[in-house]
Structure 1
């Protein structure tokens, strides 16, 4: 790992797109778990940009199938601008969420950057959920269930139009790993889009090693690898601090192997850490686990390999 790399921590303290309050406290929980210091100890230069500002969560019911659409758009435009600036300066942006709707802003920024640099984008979506819902398919209207759909152009103009290109991405840039909860209407949308999904059954059948080999198969030196890490990717027995727990997720060792194999590519160039909800956590253990896994993403391993 090149020791001169600089990472930028960007806090986005909002639960505007979620169905539970509390993800707004995620950035501070990650800082309390010493994310910056731990990455610094790995030889990275760490800049903490503090927290972005945005509208408060009005906690209203959905309108026309979307909850808090205008507020979600404001937050995502702020995220887009901040992530874009760090990428243009040659740094590795790490978005500290906040809920997963914020990935619309971060990944649209990464996609714009890849077009500027003529690089290939690969997004690894580590999550219990496919997040490919639409206003018609969603039971709740919570936009944290829609970011992949919005990034692929399937959503309201306020969200699909963030960035310099609409749609920002297409389904073929995504590899979804750890999926185990997909709404009924959403299943059809995922299938029609041709999304590459490595669900928990796939991981059970072939193992995490083979799954990650498949997900990373054509990552090369011209690939910008973006990781969107929803903490509910992990089994709730080891990571209770999320608002939307789904049993049967990756174990600690499976998650470590996943992160170490991503690090082995040497292509990690941007990262979201989202849906950490300290209100549901026990003594910040989920934040500490997330930091531990992010260290592995940046090259920590048991032995020098």
Structure 2
């Protein structure tokens, strides 16, 4: 894993309906994310936060039942461009969210650099909805589908190409809240999913070993998209869509340590930290701890 990293904050809260997640990048910085990364890596560039346009509330729901489509699309385009430029400089992008809709831009910028980009989606949700299947119209439930080329053309064609990823190169870890349309898409596309059932039955060491071996054999780069609601809300309460029965803090540290040892990651993002819903910035602190394990922090 590269020592030269670029930090990009995306204070996006328009992909969902609970305010506060736009303060996620600030919460992560306040919890010491930059200092932690500087301890572990030699060359950290914090590029600050991209600007997010505010919507006209009278027109917040646009065509096809998608909320704030224009603003999400514009922010995604800007993020994709920045990520693309940083990879061209041979830098490892680390993206701070913001809600999970930011992954549309992340994957658009990253995907053009790989023939077979792998994705580890560490999340309670599949984020595989489209306007046809989404119960809410919230775009933060759609980024993985969009990156597969499924959804509104303004999103799927972002950065001028589609799809960004292939279904056989995705591993979802921690799923426990999937909508009917998402389950159907997972079956149809053969997407690899480790739900909480598999994590409980197999144990996190086996889940991560299988995931790493699976992606190593078929990808030329791997992006980690870590949604803090993948963890149980007792340990990460500051998220907009908490689902009980999630991955533990200890299991998540082990998962990050195994990814560090495998040296397969080429980019990463941490999303859905909402300090308004949190307890003394606990969730951001958890995220920073996981960054430590992911980027090589050792106890001895």
TM norm structure 1: 0.93
In the alignment, which residue of structure 1 is the partner of 2:136? Answer: 140
Matched, 1:273 2:270: yes
Query: Is there any run of 5+ residues in structure 1 with no aligned partner, and where?
Result: none
Per-residue deviation, 1:219:
4.1
Equivalent pair of 1:112/1:164 in contact (CA under 8 Å): no
Equivalent pair of 1:175/1:198 in contact (CA under 8 Å): yes
- Residue 258 of structure 2, aligned match among 257, 261, 264: 261
- 1:241-260, aligned counterparts within 5 Å? 241-260=238-257
TM norm structure 2: 0.95
Per-residue deviation, 1:114:
1.2
Equivalent pair of 1:6/1:91 in contact (CA under 8 Å): yes
Matched, 1:203 2:211: no
Distance in 1 of aligned mates of 2:280 and 2:42? 27
In the alignment, which residue of structure 1 is the partner of 2:105? Answer: 105
Equivalent pair of 1:14/1:56 in contact (CA under 8 Å): no
- 1:153-302, aligned counterparts within 5 Å? 153-220=149-216, 223-302=220-299
Number of equivalences = 297
Using the TM superposition, name which of 43-52 and 87-96 deviates more: 43-52
Root mean square deviation, CA, Å: 1.5
Question: Quick one: structure 1 residues 236 and 57, their matched pair in 2 at CA, closer, same or farther if it must change by over 3 Å?
Answer: farther
Per-residue deviation, 1:165:
2.2
Query: Is there any run of 5+ residues in structure 2 with no aligned partner, and where?
Result: none
- Which SS does the other structure have where 1:135 is aligned? coil
In the alignment, which residue of structure 1 is the partner of 2:20? Answer: 22
Question: Quick one: structure 1 residues 114 and 82, their matched pair in 2 at CA, closer, same or farther if it must change by over 3 Å?
Answer: same
Distance in 1 of aligned mates of 2:144 and 2:55? 22
Using the TM superposition, name which of 169-178 and 59-68 deviates more: 59-68
Equivalent pair of 1:132/1:148 in contact (CA under 8 Å): yes
Distance in 2 of aligned mates of 1:185 and 1:124? 21
Distance in 1 of aligned mates of 2:27 and 2:142? 25
- 1:35-50, aligned counterparts within 5 Å? 35-50=33-48
Distance in 2 of aligned mates of 1:220 and 1:254? 21
- Residue 54 of structure 2, aligned match among 53, 56, 60: 56
Distance in 2 of aligned mates of 1:64 and 1:219? 34
Distance in 2 of aligned mates of 1:280 and 1:12? 18
